[in-house]
Amino acid sequence: MKIIDAKELDEIVNDNDNIDYFYQNQLIIKLTPNTQNKYVVKYALNYFYSDHDENEAIDRINSIYSLLNCVKCNEIKDNNLRFVNGIGVGNIFPKLMLVLQAGGDCAGKLPHENVISPRYMVIGTTSDFLKISLLKANVYFQSWITNLLKCVINNNGKTVRECYHNCSKILNQEIKILQPQTIVAMSTDVSKVFTELRMPFYKLYHPMFYIYKNIKSKLAEDLARI
Ligand SMILES: [Zn+2]
């Protein structure tokens, strides 16, 4: 676990142009309000603003890492289930927590053998579109993006439902650690979980809805209104 200033990024990216390096070396980026580094969006998995305490940032990330084993799903593990145990990316002291349904690899296909980064759960077409919209809404650097489903599954209805139930407990702990000011549910299943948990949340459509309906610019508008 290492905290680096955003201005050090140029040098690191020159030497290691891949996101796994940031994950493997557990780099946390410290931002100032004027951080302009172009690599922050591309590479920073976890970051925080310099007005927050470094030790608390590390404590929070350590606690998040300790959630990386979904015990309940492990018990039902069979050929249809593989584990990525995705945890979110973003600001460790978030104003907004955006909760998507599942990582891009969950849509009926299993992730590639060499998926090594749990953080890949929030990398893909949907997440990229969400990130661009957050940037347009000017809330990207205040946000944490995560998934309800932490385990990767095949399209097997029974297992899927079980995983939603199991993984929601990890999501609940993730929220307790990060204490976001506002939680945004971005799918019907996610909304159901927050209703069950009796937790206040704001509801938006899933990013794919905006893409399919050809109203992509509306997501940024909706995010800016929260
Ligand atoms: Zn799970």
Token pair listed for 180:
């976001």
What's the DSSP call for residue 198? Answer: T
pLDDT score of 175 more than 70: yes
Q: What is the 174 CA–ligand 1 centroid distance (Å)?
A: 13
The pLDDT assigned to 152 comes to: 65
**CB–CB of 185/226 below 8 Å?**
no
pLDDT band at residue 31 under the 50/70/90 scheme: very high
Q: What is the 95 CA–ligand 1 centroid distance (Å)?
A: 25
What's the DSSP call for residue 187? Answer: S
Q: What is the 125 CA–ligand 1 centroid distance (Å)?
A: 22
Q: What is the 155 CA–ligand 1 centroid distance (Å)?
A: 15
- Beta-carbon contacts of 171 under 8 Å, excluding residues fewer than 6 positions away, are 99, 146, 148, 150, 193
85 exposed, middle or buried (CB, 10 Å; 0-12, 13-18, 19+)? middle
* Predicted structure pTM score: 0.87
pLDDT in tens, 114-166: 343 444 455 667 778 888 999 999 999 999 999 888 776 655 566 677 888 88
Residue 11 backbone phi and psi in degrees, to 5: -65, -45
- Give the Cα separation of 142 and 47 in Å (integer): 9
The pLDDT assigned to 78 comes to: 61
What's the DSSP call for residue 111? Answer: P
- The architecture in CATH of the region 68-225 reads 3-Layer(aba) Sandwich (3.40)
- Give the Cα separation of 226 and 46 in Å (integer): 22
Cα-only R_g, the chain:
17
pLDDT in tens, 61-117: 989 888 877 778 777 766 555 555 567 889 999 999 999 887 654 433 344 443 434
Read off the pLDDT of each residue in 195-224 and give the average, rounded to a whole number. Answer: 94
The pLDDT assigned to 89 comes to: 86
Write out the E strands in the chain.
2-5, 27-31, 46-49, 81-82, 89-91, 96-100, 143-147, 152-153, 182-185, 202-203
Domain positions in the chain are: 1-51, 68-225
How long is the chain? 226
pLDDT in tens, 156-173: 566 677 888 888 888 999
What's the DSSP call for residue 110? Answer: P
